[in-house]
Structure 1
Amino acid sequence: MMITPCELPEQAAILSDVTPEMAFADRGYNGVDIDGVQIWNSGQRRGVTRGLKAMIKRRSAIEPTIGHMKSDGKLDRNWLKGALRDAMHAILCGAGHHLRMIWRKLRLFYTPILDNRW
Structure 2
Amino acid sequence: MAGLTVLRVAGPAEAFPGKRGDDEVIPWLDRPPANPVPNVIVRQLDWEQVDSWLTPPDQFFVINHYGQPNLDAEAWRLGVAGLVSRPQSLTLADLKSRARREVEFTMECSGNTGLPFFIGGVGNARWA
TM-score normalised by structure 2 residue count: 0.21
Higher share in strand: 2
Higher share in helix: 1
TM-score normalised by structure 1 residue count: 0.23
